[in-house]
Amino acid sequence: MALGAGILWWMYRGFDWHTLHSALSSEMNWTWMWISFPFGILAQVFRGLRWRQLLKPLGEHARPSTSINAVFISYASSLVVPRVGEVLRCGVLKRYDGCNFTRGVGTVVTERVVDMLMIALLSLIVFFLQIPVFQSFFRQTGLTLSGFLGQFTTTGWFVTILSLLLILLMVYLLLRRFKFMTKTRSLLSELLEGLLSIRLVDGKLRFWFYSFAIWACYFLHFYLTFFCFGFTSGLGLSVALVAFVVGTFAVLVPTPNGAGPWHFAVKTVLMLYGVPGDSGALFALIVHTVQTLLVAALGLIALVALSFTKPLSPSEVRKA
């Protein structure tokens, strides 16, 4: 949270806040923002349905509504503590549908592997379509491997290597404890079960449909907001795709919903296509804030829905 706040402060320290009020009150076309909302919701719905499909071959029968509400809550909770939602949603299924927690975590890992494949595919398409733009982006931001490694001093290298060695030593000492090893083997076995559930899934075509639909909805949720502003409405699909992919990588930085890094990445990409810096910063601020509020609202709705959901009894779980 501190990292996100620091980047946001640095980005908006000289920002004219009157332009934000003007944009929100009169200059924005809110219709397109409202049209984008169903796609943001559908992306999470498809994710919940795909997750349920991964759990089924493992003998874990989650209800569709519980799976979807668990995903809603996971995204909302990650606004407070990044990545905590991935664990929390497994706890929701255990609480309401009696699903094995560790197997659930394993399927979440599987989901992330599939998402990485989707991102890699998108990145390759965008990279080959927009090579000159990416070269310009990396030049302006200094994001090169050699440039990054070149910033390490001798002390920095020493501390990094020492830290890695200490981590390896700690893991070795922990694994030497027999009781810990026994429990770890059981946990790893259940995690591996979840990770490999994709090969056992029924309806593989439906699984891959969900996977592509999730990312298509994410993109449309973002792309449609371009039509809210005069300075982005004419940029086109390819520009939105570049900004979307770069923003997706920025969200990997552990700040709440990518706040800060996402703003910086999207603003930088828009500037490469001729959008003034202040306008790009305004776009990133409004779009990210509104979409974050949607995620929070869905989480609250899911909490209310689950409060009216009856947890399955052990006998009902066995029947399922």
| Whether residue 64 has pLDDT greater than 70 | yes
Ranked by mean pLDDT, the top range of 85-99, 121-135, 153-167 is 85-99
Under 8 Å between Cβ of 201 and 207 = yes
Ranked by mean pLDDT, the top range of 33-37, 111-115, 255-259 is 33-37
Under 8 Å between Cβ of 257 and 78 = yes
Could you give the percent of the chain with pLDDT greater than 70? 82
How far does Cα 186 stand from its chain's mean position?
Answer: 29
Q: What is the amino acid identity at position 200?
A: L
SS3 61: coil
Least confident of 38-42, 85-89, 172-176, 246-250: 172-176
Instruction: List the chain domain ranges.
Output: 2-144+160-319
Q: How confident is the model at residue 49 (pLDDT cuts 50, 70, 90)?
A: very high
* The token pair that represents 241 in the structure block: 């795709």
Q: How confident is the model at residue 108 (pLDDT cuts 50, 70, 90)?
A: confident
Mean pLDDT of the chain: 81
pLDDT tens sequence across 263-284: 888 888 888 888 888 888 889 9
Mean pLDDT computed over 8-16:
79
Q: What is 234-274 written as a DSSP string?
A: TS-HHHHHHHHHHHHHHTTSSSGGGTTHHHHHHHHHHHHTT
Kindly report the number of other CB atoms within 10 A of residue 64's CB atom.
11
Q: Which one has a higher pLDDT value, 171 or 187?
A: 171
Q: Taken in order 41, 46, 52, 55, is the CA torsion positive or negative?
A: negative
What pLDDT, on a 0 to 100 scale, did the predictor assign at position 168?
81
Mean pLDDT computed over 55-81:
89
Phi-psi region of 142 (alpha: psi -120 to 50; beta: other; left: phi over 0): left
The pTM assigned to this predicted structure is 0.77
| Whether residue 16 has pLDDT greater than 90 | no
Q: How confident is the model at residue 87 (pLDDT cuts 50, 70, 90)?
A: confident
pLDDT tens sequence across 177-205: 655 555 555 555 655 655 566 677 888 88
